[in-house]
Amino acid sequence: MQNSPETVKCLIIGSGPAGYTAAVYAARANLDPILYTGKEPGGQLMITTDVENYPGYPDGIMGPQMMEDFRKQAERFGTDVRYELISKVELNGSLHKVWTEGGHEIHAHSVIISTGASAKWLGLESEKRLANKGVSACAVCDGFFFRGQEVAIVGGGDTAAEESLYLSKLCPKVHMLVRRDEMRASKIMQERVMNTENIIVHWNTETQEILGEEQVTGVRVINNQTQAVSEIPVKGFFVAIGHKPNTDLFKGFLDMDETGYILTQGKTSKTNVEGVFASGDAQDNVYRQAVTAAGTGCMAALDAERYLTEKGIV
């Protein structure tokens, strides 16, 4: 016999700084939130080692431990954390319907989306093996650890240009690996890169392998015009070829930009669907930091509380 749907005041889809912060605020506002972690509880911070730029941790903290702290705080105020994936949604009507991978149906008066985004990788075995051992997808997060050392960054868009400029302030040499004979970055960003003496742009260059056993020691590259192979000695390797927001589940219901980031209204977390709010990297393609994700999680919970109060549900 099919179980009857579960009705909740506030459903949070996704964990990580945004989801857990939303849960803390929603629980303290007596919204009785239920949070579904998804298949990667804690999000990108679960594959991050040292986090040194989050306020309140003067000695730094390991990413997984930080997410454990967030989860405990959310549960302390009564959040029901469930380790399952939401596989289907119908975000319309006065009650939003969602289904878990196991087939459980939930009707939610409000939904907070905090499904995050995933960095795009090159797909190399050495990239996985040396993750957090010199390989990173966030120069702003990890560049500090490579002060005074040579690094490489792969990518040719605005993100790669911005991150190479950031690294150039910390590192004596930044090798920028661009696979074409031009960048996709905006003209002004290209000019800044080309006018920065310690950024060396390697055109028509693709990464064959990241070198090193326990730590990155270099990168082997190939010129895709001449087929010449060379090695560049570096201590850090940054991948800046973009992120993919984890928002496919909501296509057809929510307004998104051309790359899949959920669009929110003004300075709020409100989406185009009443009672549905978006937070964290699912809607932020600019900052993508743990602290900004947490801030938007707070906003989403406050927006949800006001919405439910106006509707007379709480």
Same domain, 171 and 262: no
Asked whether residue 1 is assigned to any structural domain, the reply reads no
Q: At residue 1, does pLDDT exceed 50?
A: no
Catalytic residues: 138, 141-142
One domain, residues 179 and 197: yes
Q: What residues make up the domain containing 273?
A: 6-118+243-310
Regarding whether 146 and 40 lie in a shared domain, the answer is no
Q: What is the pLDDT of residue 196?
A: 97
For residues 61 and 202, membership in a common domain is answered with: no
Is 44 a member of any domain? yes
Q: What is the pLDDT of residues 204-255, one digit of tens each?
A: 999 999 999 999 999 999 999 999 999 999 999 999 998 899 999 999 999 9
CATH number, domain with residue 199: 3.50.50.60
* Among 182, 209, 239, residue at a domain's last position: 239
pLDDT tens-digit series, residues 86-128: 999 999 888 999 999 999 999 999 999 999 998 889 999 999 9
Whether 11 contacts 5, CB under 8 Å: no
Residue 72 domain-assigned?
Answer: yes
- The average pLDDT across 134-139 equals 92
In this structure, are 108 and 155 located in the same domain?
no
The reply to whether 106 and 144 lie within a common domain is no
Q: What is the pLDDT of residue 2?
A: 53
| Claim to verify: residue 125 and residue 74 sit in the same structural domain | no
pLDDT at residue number 159: 86
Q: What is the pTM of this model?
A: 0.82
Instruction: Please state the domain count of the chain.
Output: 2
pLDDT at 47: 64
Got the DSSP string for the chain? -PPPPEEEEEEEE--HHHHHHHHHHHHHTT---EEE--SSTTGGGGG--EE-SSTT-TT-EEHHHHHHHHHHHHHHTT-EEE---EEEEE--SSSEEEEETT--EEEEEEEEE---EEE-----HHHHHTBTTTEES-HHHHGGGGTTS-EEEE--SHHHHHHHHHHHTT-S-EEEE-SSSS--S-HHHHHHHHT-TTEEEETTEEEEEEE-SSS--EEEEEETTT--EEEE--SEEEE-S-EEES-GGGTTTS-B-TTSPBP--TTS-B-SSTTEEE-GGGT-SS---HHHHHHHHHHHHHHHHHHHHHTT--
Question: Do residue 182 and residue 219 come from a single domain?
Answer: yes
Q: Do 125 and 233 fall within a single domain?
A: yes
Q: Region 34-51: what's the mean pLDDT?
A: 79
**Cα-based torsion angle of the residue sequence 285, 287, 291, 292 in order, rounded to the nearest 10 degrees:** -60
Over residues 271-280, mean pLDDT: 98
87 and 192 housed in the same domain: no
Residues 145, 71 share a domain: no
Which of 122, 128, 93, 121 has the alpha carbon at shortest distance from 108? 93
Average pLDDT for the chain: 94
Residues 288 and 224 in one domain: no
Instruction: Determine what percent of the chain is predicted with pLDDT higher than 90.
Output: 85
